[in-house]
Amino acid sequence: MLTRISIALFLALAPVTAFANSCPSQMAAIDAALQTASLSEADMNKVKQLRQQGEDLHNAGDHPGSEAALGEAKRLLGI
């Protein structure tokens, strides 16, 4: 019985761990793309704002929200 509960708990928390690990790699990809991006000043500011929002949400534990903000920043960068 304890084994089943342990397995169920592991499976329930596995997606949260996956989201948590992908946020930093997405932030790194955005940071790298910002170095060579040729965007308007408004779009550049929007990307930077979304990237910061993504980091703040990640640090607060809101990984789906972080993924959404970082995904939008990546879309604007074309990556």
Check whether 75 has a pLDDT greater than 80: yes
More confident residue, 30 or 22: 30
Any residues with CB less than 8 A from the CB of 10 and at least 6 apart, and which? Answer: none
Predicted local distance difference test score (pLDDT) of residue 39: 95
Q: Per-residue confidence at 21, pLDDT binned at 50, 70, 90?
A: low
pTM of the model: 0.73
CA distance 46 to 1: 51
